[in-house]
Amino acid sequence: MADIWLPNLLTNTPQEGYELAVKLSRAAVRITQSNPAVRNDLRAVYEKDAEALIATAAVVATNFQTVAAANNYWRN
């Protein structure tokens, strides 16, 4: 992963910030399991598994906290 995939945490809107939180969540999976074919197989399983989907939502929520704080909650 020599390429730049996370240049900064600032986004224009909360919605873009949420999308960045999703990206951050997926990055950890990609770093731990670098084989795209295996990730695709796993995805076919967990996207139909309620507990896995909720666990994914928990990761996104934690990353959204970080992105939202970085953007000062888009208050200004």
Residues that bind its own copies (CB under 8 A): 4-10, 13-15, 18, 22, 24-29, 31-33, 38, 42-43, 45-66, 68-70, 73-75
Pick between residue 36 and residue 43 the one whose CB is nearest to its own copies.
43
In whole angstroms, the minimum distance from the beta carbon of 3 to its own copies comes to 9
Q: Which residues contact 21 (CB under 8 A, 6 or more apart)?
A: 60, 61, 63, 64, 66, 67
In whole angstroms, the minimum distance from the beta carbon of 53 to its own copies comes to 5
Task: Return the closest-CA partner of residue 8 out of 32, 56, 17.
Answer: 17
